[in-house]
Amino acid sequence: MTQPIASTVFYMDSTVEIWNALKQIFAQLDDTGVCNLQYTLANTTQGTRIVDAYFIEHKGIWEEFRSFRPLPHC
């Protein structure tokens, strides 16, 4: 945890408070990022590349896209 983030949760009394604060910081959906990834996915083509290279790029984009999903509720 970086120092600026640690300083925001240092004086909190419970792990629930810390978790909620960190969740608020890191779990915000980035609409611009999601839109950019959707555009990239829609416009990614194999072109002259071999299937392996195309697949690896496509899978990487999907993995990044998955990171924008909200955290599950506990």
> What pLDDT is attached to residue 74?
65
Averaged pLDDT, groups of 10, the chain, 74 residues long = 84 91 73 84 92 92 78 65
Residue 65 makes CB contacts below 8 A (sequence gap 6+) with 34, 37, 38, 41
Residue 9 makes CB contacts below 8 A (sequence gap 6+) with 17, 18, 21, 22
Is the whole model's pTM more than 0.85, yes or no?
no
d(CA 10, CA 30): 26
